[in-house]
Amino acid sequence: MASSASGTETGTGTRGDGVSRSGLVFAVSAYALWGFLPVYFIALAPTGPVEIVAWRILLSLVFCAALIALTRTWRPFRALVRDRRIVLIMGVAGVLIFANWLTYVYATLSGQVVEAALGYFINPIVTVFLGVLVLRERLSAVQWTAVGISIVAVLVLGIGYGQVPWIALVLAFSFGFYGLIKKRVGHRVDAISGLTLETAWLAPVAGVLLTVVAATSGLSIGTEGGWHTVLLLGAGAVTAVPLLLFAAASRRLPLIYLGFIQYFAPFIQFLVGVFVLHEPMPPERWIGFSLVWLALAVLTFDLVRGARAARRAATLEPV
């Protein structure tokens, strides 16, 4: 049971530094799956983004309902449904995640994976910024520096693009506000119940979207071969499984580890966009991304410093 200072794994499922081995596996798996999502959506061609998102909503709802049935957690879920405030909050969260999903799938299918990756690189900084605007939190000088660098990065990228990088900003802010809502209700709403309520709100919208697509360009499901149909039907699992892995990781890992690992997803997306899809990377785009990475490095430095200070303070407290 004793552990060495080298951080090796022990038989208890934790590393020598006290970090859960299974938590690390869950976290890396979740963010790796999110990182490779562009490849999955591209494999669904010629299905358009509207049809993909509509099926993603409906199939996620079916998948989550099946999980609740299998785990026999209908009773706590019904308790949430009876809470009008929670249901309305989840409706707002549903609108935000709908905007996020639609923008992300559109970016993927239109050859703008790199800009989508930028959105998720910016997201941690947007989260800090929202903490100031919405929660009235106070930022340290280091955190303000990170926010300032990220603003300069967006300006550089905007000048380079010749327009505001709206895909990145929509993704960053929609997911930032979504995370803010989830943080407010996270003590009451688990991952599966939350996604079930969100997709239940969006199900009528998805039905309308599929009706419109069927009446105009026609639905692609069942018309592009068996493998395409299987992939499209797997959209619900592809949506819910990383979320479940993340929820499992968040219960086992300190926030600082999740803070580091969250960069896996946009980094993988960036590599896919540049080296697999061969999206252009002119000098101004490299400069903008370098500034974003610098801002993240500054933010990470502040996170590590804060965690160490908290740990020192905890060791000095009397038992």
Give tens-digit pLDDT for 193-228: 889 999 999 999 999 999 999 999 899 998 889 999
Cα–Cα separations (whole angstroms), residue 184 to 77, 90, 180, 188, 242:
18, 11, 6, 9, 21
Nearest to 297 by CA among 160, 120, 124, 175: 124
Structure tokens at 24: 């690390």
pTM (2 d.p.): 0.84
H/E stretch holding 199 reads helix 191-215
Q: How confident is the model at residue 170 (pLDDT cuts 50, 70, 90)?
A: very high
Structure tokens at 45: 């061609």
pLDDT at 254 over 80: no
Please give the pLDDT value at position 9: 46
CA 308 to CA 310: how far, in whole Å?
A: 5
Nearest to 232 by CA among 219, 246, 216: 219
pLDDT at 243 over 70: yes
What does the domain layout of the chain look like in residue ranges? Answer: 33-110+120-310
Q: Which amino acid is at 226?
A: G
Q: How confident is the model at residue 12 (pLDDT cuts 50, 70, 90)?
A: very low
Give tens-digit pLDDT for 132-162: 777 777 777 887 888 888 889 888 888 877 7
Cα–Cα separations (whole angstroms), residue 218 to 41, 57, 229:
18, 19, 15
